[in-house]
Amino acid sequence: MRAALGSLALRVRAPAAAAGLRHRVLATTAAGAKPKNMKTFSIYRWDPESGKKPRMQDYEIDMNECGPMVLDALLKIKNEIDPTLTLRRSCREGICGSCSMNIDGSNTLACLCKVSDAPKMKIYPLPHMYVLKDLVPDMSNFYEQHKSVQPYLQTAPGTDISVENYQSKEDRAKLDGLYECVLCACCSTSCPSYWWNQDKYLGPAVLLQSYRWLADSRDAKKAERLEFLSDAFKVYRCKTIMNCSKTCPKHLNPGKAIAQIKLSMEH
Tell me if 207 is assigned to some domain: yes
What confidence score (pLDDT) does residue 17 get?
A: 52
What confidence score (pLDDT) does residue 28 get?
A: 47
In this structure, the answer to whether residues 129 and 212 fall within a common structural domain is no
Which CATH number fits the domain that encloses residue 114?
Answer: 3.10.20.30
Tell me if 85 is assigned to some domain: yes
Count up the domains in the chain and report the number.
2
Check: CB of residue 133 under 8 Å from CB of residue 86. yes
What confidence score (pLDDT) does residue 225 get?
A: 98
**91 lies in which domain range?**
38-137
In this structure, the answer to whether residues 76 and 178 fall within a common structural domain is no
Tell me if 2 is assigned to some domain: no
Which H helix or E strand runs over 27? helix 2-32
Model pTM score: 0.85
CA distances from 266 to 235, 250, 262 (A): 12, 29, 6
In this structure, the answer to whether residues 238 and 149 fall within a common structural domain is yes
Tell me if 176 is assigned to some domain: yes
Tell me if 5 is assigned to some domain: no
What confidence score (pLDDT) does residue 9 get?
A: 47
In this structure, the answer to whether residues 93 and 70 fall within a common structural domain is yes
d(CA 214, CA 261): 8
In this structure, the answer to whether residues 115 and 194 fall within a common structural domain is no
Which CATH number fits the domain that encloses residue 200?
Answer: 1.10.1060.10
In this structure, the answer to whether residues 243 and 131 fall within a common structural domain is no
What confidence score (pLDDT) does residue 266 get?
A: 87
Mean pLDDT by 10 residues, the chain (267 residues): 48 51 51 83 97 97 97 98 98 97 99 97 98 98 98 93 93 98 98 97 98 97 97 96 98 98 91
Tell me if 15 is assigned to some domain: no
Tell me if 111 is assigned to some domain: yes
SS3 158: coil
In this structure, the answer to whether residues 146 and 125 fall within a common structural domain is no
Tell me if 203 is assigned to some domain: yes
What confidence score (pLDDT) does residue 10 get?
A: 44
d(CA 156, CA 218): 9
